[in-house]
Amino acid sequence: ALDIACGTGTLALLLADKGWDVVGIDQSAAMLGLARTKADALDAPGTAAFFQADMRNFAGPQPRAFDLATCTYDSLNYLLDERDLIACFSCVAAALRPGGLFVADMNTRHFLEHDWGEVSIAEARGLVEVQRSHFERATDCSTMLLSGFVGCDEQGYTRFDETHVERAYPPDTVALLLEQAGLHVEAAYDCFTLLPHYPASQRIAWVARKRGFAGAA
């Protein structure tokens, strides 16, 4: 399996634990370092290897075509231009064997415009996050400014700041770009269900199959 924008390897290692041999790619060297550390500590029937690569332009590393490719946690929304999105889809198609599956999720415009709250606060043990977001209708992009505080009351907190920009794509556009890349859309679910997506869906789970398989149109 190929996990695109694998981050710290959470999904890749879950797949390895189920017996898959997984290659994870990501642009972030820091996240890949954490993924490799987690992989070293994993006792699993499958394997996980991690490499630095751009999701818009990768040709490997793979010794063979993959049966499965994944891209989760709205990573595709970070591609802000249709040309980048189809470039990623084309790389996925090149990496899959005929009949191989691509499973990915994307945030919807409804979520980015209405549900990604303007100001929200998330708290966990040793961490406080303050998120401020703004949706720009002219570009279909939402910009989130995230300020995080790590530490404890006794020893104080360290602050970090991040900026996240995501673009919402109409489902028809995503389906068209997948098809143009040679990936036949088999399903578009309301995420975390097996029901079709609907106008108020927050996230869509896409399932597409590389053409060349007898079951693909």
66-71 vs 2-4, strand pairing mode? parallel
Question: For the ranges 1-15, 30-44, 55-69, 175-189, which has the lowest average pLDDT?
Answer: 55-69
Q: How confident is the model at residue 128 (pLDDT cuts 50, 70, 90)?
A: very high
* pLDDT, position 106: 99
Chain segment 83-97, per-residue pLDDT in tens: 999 999 999 999 999
Q: Distances from the Cα of 80 to the Cαs of 47, 85, 135, 197, 210, in angstroms?
A: 32, 8, 14, 22, 24
Q: Whole-prediction pTM value?
A: 0.91
Average pLDDT over residues 109-135: 90
- Flag whether pLDDT at 217 surpasses 50: no
CATH code of the region 2-108+168-210:
3.40.50.150
Q: Which CATH number fits domain 110-167: 3.40.50.2000, 3.50.50.60, 3.30.70.1290, 2.20.25.110?
A: 2.20.25.110
Q: Distances from the Cα of 172 to the Cαs of 178, 179, 188, 197, in angstroms?
A: 10, 11, 11, 12
Q: What is the DSSP string of 131-168?
A: EEEEEETTTTEEEEEEEEEEEETTTEEEEEEEEEEEE-
Domain locations along the chain: 2-108+168-210, 110-167
Q: How confident is the model at residue 212 (pLDDT cuts 50, 70, 90)?
A: confident
Chain segment 52-68, per-residue pLDDT in tens: 999 999 875 555 689 99
Average pLDDT over residues 38-50: 94
Closest CA to 106 of 68, 78, 69, 81: 78
- Flag whether pLDDT at 69 surpasses 90: yes
Q: How confident is the model at residue 153 (pLDDT cuts 50, 70, 90)?
A: confident
DSSP type of residue 217: -
100 C-beta neighbours (distance < 10 Å), count? 22
2-4 vs 156-167, strand pairing mode? unpaired
